[in-house]
Structure 1
Amino acid sequence: MKKLVIVGSGMSAMKVVDEVLKIDPLMYQITIIGAETVLPYNRIMLSPVLAGEKEFDDIKTHDENYFSQNNITFKPGFEVTTVGRKAKNVEVVNLEDQSLERINYDRLVICTGSTPFILPLPGKELEGVVSFRDIYDVEYMKSEAGKDKKVAVIGTGLLGLEAANGLNELGFDVTVIGNSSSIMNMQLDPSSGGLLQKVLEQKNINFKMDAMTTKIVGETKVESLEFEDGSTMQTDMVVMSVGIVPNDDLAKRIGLHTDRGIMVGDTMMTSDPVIYSVGECIKHRGTTYGLVAPLFEQARVCAEQVCEVNHHMYTGSDISTKLKVSGVDVFSAGEFDNADDEVMCSKDHALNTRKRLSIRDNKLVGAVLFGDSTDGLFYFDLIKKETDITDMRKTLLFGDISIDTASAGSVGVERMADDEQVCGCLGVTKGDIVTAVAGGCDTFELMQEETDCGTGCGGCSSVAKQIFSFVSDIESVAKDTLCDCTSHSTQEVREHVRSLEVVATIDEVRSALDFSDSCEKCGAAINYYLSSQFNAQYKHNDNERPHNEKMHANLQNDGTYSIVPQMQGGLTTPDELKALADIAIKFKVPTVKVTGGQRIDLLGIPKENLNDMWDELSDAGMEAGYAYAKATRTCKSCVGRDHCLMGTQDSMGLSVKMEDAVWSHFMPHKFKMGVSGCPRNCAESTIKDFGVICTEKGYEIHVAGACGIRTKACLKDRFFKKEEDVVKYLKAFVQLYRVEANYLERVMHFEERVGLDYIRSKLDTPEKIKKWADQLPSTVKNPWVTTNHRQSA
């Protein structure tokens, strides 16, 4: 058996191996040498790992079983030091113990990829200066999370923006620094870049554009940045994402032809006839590619060559970029920066979508789509084929208008070659989708499970659905279902509940909608929807509530529980404190803690003590704090004008009134409030679901903030002069949220879904505010003294 050695374990290297095994799994004994100490993974998916949306295990592309089943020797943590081209062997070093060994080869494939370009700035060697290129970079950034740090991301390309988004999700204060006037200027025209920047700014990512960084300042760690205009910016970390450099060091050392990359021909052969090269380390016809689709095309050609078959040649790639950046679909192809081109442009302000088409000599030469990339394939086909668009000029901005007719897709998905890339994140081709459907995948979701198509950034989903529908003749519309027990979406279940004229039970709703089973997720959601629809007429089904709500206490890691009594606005009395101390001593509570919401938490309580402790707390005049529930939580406040020299209003008094107004209502999610007695904001009111900033003239209302895994500053909503108007508006806001938000949808996500303008439109007059406020039902009883809620020990 011949010997094939692959240098590198990245995506292009592993694609070569995959293709070789498809052609002839018995031709080679394969050895893979990777400098990284982990299993191969999808670098494109580092962004969701950084953001906490995925774990490293989710992005691994090949596991141990793959190597053992295919008799492959995988050597992670090794590096090739030199290649004996005459003897056909490689010398490798174990990076851990520095031991050396030689491995013979018949064919050698170099896939050393690229290295991140680090700007040659003074201070670049300081601790806290990192790139965003591998899993080790991600692990470092995540290790710094939760430390209230500022991060500067230098670079406004895709990787820089993805790093910024992930760091923002982790809670960092992020500023993106660019030396041009618009972001992603290699893929987007300035107007589209501006729209994307606005979306990111709404997520509290800051931007400093047209800025040239000149120095990174610090003793041993990063402290600040200096710019060409003399300005400075404090920062604790610098993430450089300004480009990549082909890693051709090994090729240079062994005498291969290089020129800012390993020179290869159309067969992917280097200047040595038994050494091939693929990926970001090569230069082919003067071009180096950094996208997955070209790399995978190269890998297929390379595999055919080393397996001594010759079906394809690599002549270069037509490049289009289909991405989902921070949840926004973006598509770019061709040229868009030639000032002499004709431009067609459309924008839908309501949907926040934009199309910009560049035309030259009656041919489409460039397309940029923002917010909706559905027509990307259609435009890309016109660009590649240099189609004369004279006859379709009037309708060109509408996309492929033939797609729903008998002649659908004359330039659509059916014209795509089977080997054409669909999913750039995971290298899925149209042929992979066709094969999956032929193999029995009769739903879009099953096709996704089989191929992983559309499970990366999601930017290819629209095209993948078109291909699936065309191949299977099955409608591919996928929707987020409430849970695995039903095919109905959250919205459909809620609309059914809204249509009911008489109170129903949870099981009656399940039966009416043909649920196949029951689970905690759908039980809790339907329970809430029935409650918000019928208020006092509906009796909660406690058996369908989440565990903590059943117990009226928070379950802890060790199986004990935590009880949090209500303390409105953080106010308490000596009698209450004495009662809490006596109860804690009597029941031997091991931990007593002041919470971030200005209350006292009794932790480590055995289940059998809950009922008796509730009784004694209730006898002392204290109520449940609902710390365990999807309900109104606390209203945090500062001491206000009665005690603080800076206070402008009675923040403590207002916080008590606000809690009284909306206390104990079950909500779609937890609901936190805050009142700060002056703009210094000591109560942190601007990161609450509903916050009030007191001023000399009245009260600023701020909504839809949050502090957690993702921290989001509130949006300034409106201003009131009187306390009673604040309380009435709070009641109206809460009722609107209760009625229109989905279960488990925080206020910030509700606002992001419907928009602050929509919320304002529902509450833009005193009459509307009164109407919604009056609909808020009366508060429920203290569950700690309701016998129906007592738990059996």
Structure 2
Amino acid sequence: MKNLVVVGSGMSAMKVVDEVLKINPLMYKITIIGEEKVLPYNRIMLSPVLAGEKKFDDIKTHDESYFSQNNISFKPGCAVTAVDRKSKNVLVTNIEDKSTNNINYNRLVICTGSTPFILPLPGKELAGVVSFRDIYDVEYMQSKAGKSKKVAIIGTGLLGLEAANGLNELGFEVSVIGNAESIMNMQLDGTSGGLLQKVLAQKNIHFKMNATTRKIVGEDKVTALEFDDGSILETDMVVMSVGIIPNDTLAKNIGLQTDRGIIVNDTMMTSDPAIYSVGECIKHRGMSYGLVAPLFEQARVCAEQVCEVSHHIYTGSDISTKLKISGVDVFSAGEFNNPEDEIMCSKDHALNTRKRLSIRGDKLVGAVLFGDSTDGLFYFDLIKNETDITDIRKTLLFGDINIDGSSAGAKGVEKMTEDEQVCGCMGVTKGDIVSAVATGCNSFEALQEETGCATGCGGCTSVAKQVFSFVSGAKVSNKDTLCDCTTHATEEVRQYIRSLDKVMSIDEVRSALDFEESCEACGAAINYYLSSQFNEAYIHNDKERPHNEQMHANKQRDGTYSIVPQMQGGLTTPKELKALADIALKYEVPTVKVTGGQRIDLLGIPKENLNDMWDEISEAGMESGYAYGKATRTCKSCVGTEHCMMGTQDSMGLSVKMEDAVWSHFMPHKFKMGVSGCPRNCAEATIKDFGVICTEKGYEIHVAGACGIRTKACLKDRFFETESKVIEYLKAFVQLYRIEANYLERVMHFEERVGLDYIQSKLDSPEKIKHYADLLPKTIKNPWKTTDHRKSA
């Protein structure tokens, strides 16, 4: 039996060993030499360990039984200090007691990884300056919890943000320092980076961008950071996370060819034919890689070479990044910063999702997905294969769909090779999923338990489910939990609250359903469900409501706010216009805009002016327009029979009555209406949540439309002959939506989930319509006159 010596016990080293054992478990007596004193572990999962979400045992990749069963000699806490390449012998030194011994090899694999780059700042040697690279760093930071209060993280890449999130969970006051305009600028465009920064800021993580650190201040230990602009940030600890350096020291010392990394060819061979190298320590075709997928590709090629059964060579890696950061799915691939590229972009403000596609000629060259990475595999396949997108350009922004809108999700999965990685955290490939299914994994949960796939950051879950469904033929149950605080789906939380017969608080609901944590997402949802269940008997918990609803105004990009008074049916008066003009002049409102919903928006209002402006607008007789809320927004109308020669009914009058009927009730999502006085549809009523088309004989009701990132025409629901029946049906429809839709579910998504037939069946008789209409509470008061609300501003 030959001798294989592997230097390093990290993820790439252990992947080489795993692959060797798959190919020929009897070919080598394997020795693994690792400088860390612990068992091999998954470095990608250090962040949840830091946050206390996982224990170190949870992220171990190989236990003692692995080594004994495979007759592997594992030497933790040891380093290779010399290599005699001529006699093929390594000198192994115990780091603690300095004892040594010699080991012969037939093949030597160097997987020494990388070292964190420490900025050469004055004060870098002070106590309290640490990197975030291994379990010892994590243990140090955890030991300071409760003793140190403030921590500054230099670096806004993935590791820096993971450290920030983990330390924030430990109770530190966290500040992240970056020298660029946006975070994760190597993986995300500026806008997507800004969205992620906003999510993290909502967790009380502070950011100082476009800042260059001059020095670390302190005598024996860190006390502050000083920046080039002269500003000072007090801190008890500094975490450096500004990049890595390939650890090629051993290779240099033994005379291998290096160039800021160990030079390897396409078979992972170094300049010595008996020595191979894999991982962050190498340089291949001028490139070094720090992601798991390329490292595992290299490991497979290396294992084949040392086992003398070469099937593959390594020519480099097409890189895509699938991550979940602080609960947010993030995906990026290709190029996205070339100003010459054409950009396609979409954003759903309600779901906080964004797509940005970079197009060059007839090719997709880059994709950044924020909040939903479902289509990442599809876009990555187009980028990697340089596919001509001419025929799918019209639907490209909608992801992997056919021209008729039907799903084509299996296409990208089918094209995946078996060695293509699905889960970066656990290094699971499509082939691993194929093997797991073949050996009996008949559910996605079983696959997760067997392979670890989608149990890390979770960013690969949607792709993993697609691959599992394609390979097994089984449908995956998509139970999307309300948030990361619970295992309950939003439907389950809603149904539980609908079953209550007495008022509970938000925390009491969380306790009853065994929520592990609390967050803004579940707080807002439970608050809404309780409010719509108990109406006036329930007092809104303002602290659990979205920021804009707390402020009764929409926060703008620059930190100012906008106010939109109600204008029923787009109608106003000279007196109201004069009052708004006087208020705008008095408070120097910089922008006054007529909205698409036929109202006037006052933009650019500083927070300190909100209270006084609310008072004056209310005194002028105007109410809140609820532009900030999940509530009735507008009822758009044309001028109707009162002015238009084509009008068939009084569309303006009906629109006012419709707004009065359902005004100010909080709903699962924003609710927009429209009334067109004739079938010419000037008020665009057929792309609203609830639309009315007036005819000579009465009123056509259209529901579940939308105009946004996805435009959907309404479905024709029914016909009424009188205004009073339209109003009663509207109230019934709204109440059904309020109690049976999930929070943040637009009417069109509610209809797509339950079906128009179901909605019609619940409202298919005058008695049922009256029943639901009577359940809708009376209109609540103008929140601008509610002083308790204004205290929050």
Q: Report the TM-score when normalising by structure 2.
A: 0.63
Residue of structure 2 in register with 1:376 after alignment: 376
CA contact (8 A) 1:465 1:477 kept: no
Shift of residue 479, structure 1, vs aligned partner: 2.5
Letter of the 2:180 partner, please give it.
S
Structure 1, gaps ≥5 residues long: 501-528, 535-539, 548-664, 672-714, 722-739, 741-752, 756-761, 774-793
Instruction: Answer yes or no: is 1:76 the counterpart of 2:76.
Output: yes
Q: Deviations over 1:164-190 (max 9, x none)?
A: 111111110111001111111101111
Shift of residue 403, structure 1, vs aligned partner: 10
Residue of structure 1 in register with 2:282 after alignment: 282
Residue of structure 2 in register with 1:152 after alignment: 152
Shift of residue 460, structure 1, vs aligned partner: 0.4
Secondary structure, in 3 states, of the residue corresponding to 1:378? helix
CA contact (8 A) 2:33 2:76 kept: yes
Letter of the 1:227 partner, please give it.
F
Residue of structure 2 in register with 1:399 after alignment: 399
What are the equivalent positions in structure 2 for 1:519-530 lying under 5 Å apart?
A: none
Residue of structure 1 in register with 2:309 after alignment: 309
Residue of structure 2 in register with 1:117 after alignment: 117
In 2, distance between residues paired with 1:202 and 1:243? 26
Distance 1:766 1:395, change over 3 A: same
What are the equivalent positions in structure 2 for 1:133-532 lying under 5 Å apart?
A: 133-147=133-147, 149-402=149-402, 408-409=408-409, 411-479=411-479, 489=488, 491-497=490-496, 532=503
CA contact (8 A) 1:268 1:277 kept: yes
Letter of the 1:174 partner, please give it.
V
CA contact (8 A) 1:118 1:242 kept: yes
Letter of the 1:159 partner, please give it.
L
In 2, distance between residues paired with 1:8 and 1:292? 16
In 2, distance between residues paired with 1:439 and 1:145? 45
CA contact (8 A) 1:403 1:412 kept: no
In 2, distance between residues paired with 1:420 and 1:383? 15
Secondary structure, in 3 states, of the residue corresponding to 1:198? helix
Q: Deviations over 1:23-66 (max 9, x none)?
A: 01111110000000000000000011011110000000000000
Q: Deviations over 1:268-307 (max 9, x none)?
A: 0001110000000000000000000000000000000000
Aligned residue pair count: 538
Secondary structure, in 3 states, of the residue corresponding to 2:239? strand
CA contact (8 A) 1:497 1:530 kept: no
Q: Deviations over 1:541-594 (max 9, x none)?
A: xxx9999xxxxxxxxxxxxxxxxxxxxxxxxxxxxxxxxxxxxxxxxxxxxxxx
CA contact (8 A) 2:179 2:212 kept: yes
What are the equivalent positions in structure 2 for 1:20-39 lying under 5 Å apart?
A: 20-39=20-39
In 2, distance between residues paired with 1:489 and 1:338? 43
Instruction: Answer yes or no: is 1:89 the counterpart of 2:89.
Output: yes
Shift of residue 530, structure 1, vs aligned partner: 6.4
Shift of residue 7, structure 1, vs aligned partner: 0.2
Q: Deviations over 1:311-330 (max 9, x none)?
A: 10001000011111111111
Runs in 1 of length 4+ with deviation above 6 angstroms?
403-407, 544-547, 718-721, 767-771
CA contact (8 A) 1:213 1:227 kept: yes
In 2, distance between residues paired with 1:281 and 1:294? 13
Distance 1:399 1:491, change over 3 A: closer
Secondary structure, in 3 states, of the residue corresponding to 1:340? coil
Distance 1:495 1:227, change over 3 A: closer
Q: Deviations over 1:751-790 (max 9, x none)?
A: xx979xxxxxx9996589999x9xxxxxxxxxxxxxxxxx
In 2, distance between residues paired with 1:446 and 1:349? 35
In 2, distance between residues paired with 1:116 and 1:463? 31
Shift of residue 473, structure 1, vs aligned partner: 2.1
Letter of the 2:455 partner, please give it.
T
Distance 1:398 1:480, change over 3 A: closer
Structure 2, gaps ≥5 residues long: 515-537, 545-606, 615-667, 669-741, 745-776, 789-793
Distance 1:411 1:478, change over 3 A: closer
Letter of the 2:16 partner, please give it.
V
CA contact (8 A) 1:164 1:176 kept: yes
Secondary structure, in 3 states, of the residue corresponding to 1:263? strand
In 2, distance between residues paired with 1:392 and 1:345? 16
In 2, distance between residues paired with 1:301 and 1:384? 21
Distance 1:769 1:366, change over 3 A: closer
Residue of structure 2 in register with 1:512 after alignment: none
Distance 1:447 1:160, change over 3 A: same
Distance 1:769 1:59, change over 3 A: farther
Residue of structure 2 in register with 1:782 after alignment: none
Distance 1:440 1:220, change over 3 A: same
Residue of structure 2 in register with 1:560 after alignment: none
CA contact (8 A) 1:269 1:275 kept: yes
In 2, distance between residues paired with 1:533 and 1:262? 63
Shift of residue 214, structure 1, vs aligned partner: 1.1
CA contact (8 A) 1:121 1:216 kept: yes
Instruction: Answer yes or no: is 1:43 the counterpart of 2:43.
Output: yes
Secondary structure, in 3 states, of the residue corresponding to 1:48? helix
Residue of structure 2 in register with 1:689 after alignment: none
In 2, distance between residues paired with 1:754 and 1:47? 30
Letter of the 2:212 partner, please give it.
M
Q: Deviations over 1:496-547 (max 9, x none)?
A: 55566xxxxxxxxxxxxxxxxxxxxxxxxxxxx566589xxxxx9xxx9999
In 2, distance between residues paired with 1:353 and 1:764? 33
Shift of residue 480, structure 1, vs aligned partner: 6.8
Residue of structure 1 in register with 2:637 after alignment: none
In 2, distance between residues paired with 1:195 and 1:220? 38
In 1, distance between residues paired with 2:233 and 2:472? 56
Percent of aligned pairs with the same residue? Answer: 74
Shift of residue 231, structure 1, vs aligned partner: 1.2
CA contact (8 A) 2:410 2:470 kept: no
What are the equivalent positions in structure 2 for 1:754-765 lying under 5 Å apart?
A: none
Letter of the 1:465 partner, please give it.
K
CA contact (8 A) 1:154 1:239 kept: yes
CA contact (8 A) 2:401 2:409 kept: no
Shift of residue 481, structure 1, vs aligned partner: 8.3
Q: Deviations over 1:221-262 (max 9, x none)?
A: 001111111111111100000000000000000000000000
In 1, distance between residues paired with 2:416 and 2:336? 24
CA contact (8 A) 1:132 1:163 kept: yes
CA contact (8 A) 1:381 1:411 kept: no
Secondary structure, in 3 states, of the residue corresponding to 1:412? helix
Shift of residue 478, structure 1, vs aligned partner: 3.8
What are the equivalent positions in structure 2 for 1:677-688 lying under 5 Å apart?
A: none
Secondary structure, in 3 states, of the residue corresponding to 2:329? strand
Letter of the 2:249 partner, please give it.
D
Letter of the 1:293 partner, please give it.
A
In 2, distance between residues paired with 1:493 and 1:424? 31
Greater displacement, 462-471 / 109-118: 462-471
In 1, distance between residues paired with 2:216 and 2:40? 33
Distance 1:403 1:312, change over 3 A: farther
Secondary structure, in 3 states, of the residue corresponding to 1:440? coil
CA contact (8 A) 1:111 1:277 kept: yes
Distance 1:360 1:124, change over 3 A: same
Distance 1:405 1:80, change over 3 A: same
Shift of residue 375, structure 1, vs aligned partner: 0.7
Q: Deviations over 1:336-395 (max 9, x none)?
A: 111111111111111111111111121111111111111111111111111111111111
Residue of structure 1 in register with 2:12 after alignment: 12
Residue of structure 2 in register with 1:507 after alignment: none
CA contact (8 A) 1:422 1:430 kept: yes
Letter of the 1:357 partner, please give it.
L
